[in-house]
Amino acid sequence: MKEAIILNPNYLHLEAFVQNIPQIFAKEGVTIYKSRNEIKVFEFNGLQINVKQYRKPSLLNRLIYTFIRPSKGLRAFNYAQILTEKGFSTPEPIAYIVYKKHNIIAESYFISIQSQLSRTMYEFGTSEMKGKEDVVKALGQFTARMHEAGIYHRDYSPGNILFDKVDGEIQFCLVDINRMDFGPVSIKKGCENFQRLWGKDDFFTLLATAYAKGRGIDITQCVALTLKYKKTFWKKYSKRHPASD
């Protein structure tokens, strides 16, 4: 198979490590996620490095990713640079590795710095919101700034929004960013973006209120739209995700 590597110029000193990832991935590192794809964390030269190995695509998708549109890993690498340039936090990209067989994508990896933020929005799926209102308001404001900047995360789900308090300030970090849109975000599309999150109605009401204030739009309309999209989305998945009730 033929290997190709795109390396962030800021991490040229990690080139030897990056080149060796396909050989060491199966036997080294600590697995932190494994489903369709597998994510491992490696320690190298004092750095914690996140390596995502993508599942081998179907033949159709391999052809699409080779000839029609960028692969998930390449999109993640490119989008991370765009987010960083626009001032939004995401794990800094180190490299993208792709193997091709018969000139068609067969295997790929996305390598980034491991985020130091440890909490996710899953916390709001079943627990009470009391005492965490500041996080919800901050997320609404953060999302408003993101949408005003023309950034739309198409998989804005609980596990893809990391957060924590750092020096008394709530910080957010976006992960799994291969599905992004860039351009104007309408009010309807913006309110719809919250539908994948977990939480009770008071969570979504507070979230939408903070979002509306951040974008200078009608609060009542924004709350109504957010609750509507949340209800419609979770009606389809409530059996699989009872925490959304």
| 126 & 101 share domain | no
All residues at 6 or more sequence positions from 88 whose CB lies less than 8 Å from its CB, including other chains:
145, 146, 149, 151, 174
Nearest to 47, CA basis, from 119, 120, 111: 111
Write down the pTM of the prediction. Answer: 0.91
Judged against a pLDDT cut of 50, whether residue 82 lies above it is answered with yes
Judged against a pLDDT cut of 70, whether residue 241 lies above it is answered with no
| 71 & 162 share domain | no
pLDDT tens-digit map of 13-35: 999 999 999 999 999 999 999 98
- Number of folded domains that form the chain: 2
| 134 & 108 share domain | no
| 33 & 123 share domain | no
> Which residues form the domain of 91?
2-113
Q: What is the CATH number of the domain that holds 13?
A: 3.30.200
- Examine the fold and report which residue of 77, 93, 113 is the final residue of a domain before the chain moves on: 113
151-153 and 161-166: which strand pairing? unpaired
| 129 & 193 share domain | yes
Q: What are 144's two structure tokens?
A: 């408003």
Q: What is the CATH number of the domain that holds 156?
A: 1.10.510
Judged against a pLDDT cut of 90, whether residue 128 lies above it is answered with no
| 104 & 148 share domain | no
Residues shown for the chain: 245
Q: Report d(CA 201, CA 206) in Å as an integer.
A: 9
The torsion region of residue 44 among left (phi > 0), alpha (psi -120 to 50) and beta comes to beta
pLDDT tens-digit map of 93-102: 999 999 998 8
Asked if residue 91 lies in contact with residue 80, where contact means CB atoms within 8 angstroms, the answer is yes
Sort 232 into a burial class: Cβ within 10 Å, 0-12 / 13-18 / 19+: exposed
Asked if residue 138 lies in contact with residue 178, where contact means CB atoms within 8 angstroms, the answer is no
pLDDT tens-digit map of 181-200: 999 999 999 999 999 999 99
| 95 & 130 share domain | no
Return the bridge partners of 174, or none: 161
C-alpha to C-alpha distances, 61 to 57, 101, 235, nearest whole angstrom? 6, 14, 30
For 238, list phi and psi in degrees, rounded to 5: -60, -30
- Examine the fold and report which residue of 66, 82, 113 is the final residue of a domain before the chain moves on: 113
- Stretch 197-225: mean pLDDT: 97
| 94 & 131 share domain | no
Helix axes 219-237 and 201-215, enclosed angle (nearest 10): 140
| 105 & 159 share domain | no
Which amino acid, 49?
I
Q: What are 65's two structure tokens?
A: 């990713």
| 225 & 187 share domain | yes
| 176 & 87 share domain | no
Asked if residue 174 lies in contact with residue 157, where contact means CB atoms within 8 angstroms, the answer is no
| 184 & 71 share domain | no
- Stretch 43-63: mean pLDDT: 92
- Examine the fold and report which residue of 113, 146, 181 is the final residue of a domain before the chain moves on: 113
Stronger pLDDT, 244 or 153, i.e. the higher one: 153
